[in-house]
Amino acid sequence: MVKTIRNIAMLIIILSAVIFVLGCAEKSKALLSEDYKTMSNENILRYYYSLSDEIERQEKQSSPQFSIGIGSFGREVGGGVGVGTGGSGYTADDLRARRIDVRLEFKRRGLNP
């Protein structure tokens, strides 16, 4: 009974992590899908800061992670230790490129962020 509860808890943790990672990617995709060239000056400034915030959030997630796991399957019991790079596996390079494009649009419009 205890082993079953542990397995269910591990499954919930893994599913939560996957949902979190997919949520991060969705936010980035939503930002990249917006057309900044048609935005007003006020909205493009907000968009620029949203890009910067998302880049910062992506970089904070990329710190190293250490984990210890214990599991069982039938009568077998096993354990393991893992070290990962962390983060969502998504790089912020596309967001940085978009932020550069937005800054060039600022320059074209004569704005200073």
Better-predicted residue by pLDDT, 101 or 89: 101
pLDDT score of 44:
93
Its domain, for residue 75, covers 2-109
Which pLDDT band holds residue 97 (cuts at 50, 70, 90)?
Answer: very high
Give me the pLDDT at residue 99, please: 94
> Which element (helix H / strand E) includes 64?
none
In a 10 Å sphere around its CB, with 0-12 CB exposed, 13-18 middle and 19+ buried, how is residue 36 labelled? middle
Q: What whole-number percentage of the chain has pLDDT above 90?
A: 31
Euclidean distance between CA atoms 10 and 70, whole angstroms: 9
Give 78's contacts (C-beta < 8 A, 6+ positions apart). Answer: 70, 71, 72
Domains: count for the chain: 1
Residue 36 has pLDDT above 70, yes or no: yes
C-alpha 29/C-alpha 34 separation (Å) is 9
